[in-house]
Amino acid sequence: MSFIYLASPYSAPSMATKVARFMAARDVCLWALKAKIVIYSPIVHWHNIAVTQGLKGSFIEFEIQNEGLLASASKLYVLDLFGWKVSKGVLAEIALAKTANIPCSLLKCTGMEKRFAEDSIRRSYTTETLPE
């Protein structure tokens, strides 16, 4: 079974920024689940482990894990969050995907509705070609 690898920025000096970035990636995963799209987000996977185990949450800490999974992905989506263009982790993931001929797209949030069960946000997303 193929899956989409979701790249998104995470590292930041502020824990509030890390949490906001985690929540944005989590919302994409919820959207994908409801749309029956198989997706993997390292941020959603590793955030709670990093926080509870006192890890920095840097790309370097999880590089081997993330690269192994990305190498098996059929597509790479880059979540259009502030900071993705300068994120060392996201840029490394894009480079790896391009080297492996994995198609890359920018995933943009196109709408929000009011909150519903379990404090998730209803969003819709579109993809476009990743800028060079």
Burial level of 121, CB count in 10 A (0-12/13-18/19+)? middle
Residues 101 and 123: their CA atoms lie apart, in Å, by 29
Which pLDDT band holds residue 51 (cuts at 50, 70, 90)? confident
Average pLDDT over the chain reads 86
pLDDT > 50? residue 109: yes
**Pair 109, 132: CB distance under 8 Å:** no
* pLDDT in the model for residue 10: 92
- Max mean pLDDT among 9-18, 28-37, 45-54, 70-79 falls in 70-79
pTM for this entry = 0.86
CATH class of the domain comprising 4-129 = alpha beta
Phi first, then psi: give them for residue 10, nearest 5 degrees. -140, -55
Question: What proportion of the chain, given as a percentage, has pLDDT over 90?
Answer: 51
* Residue ranges of domains in the chain: 4-129
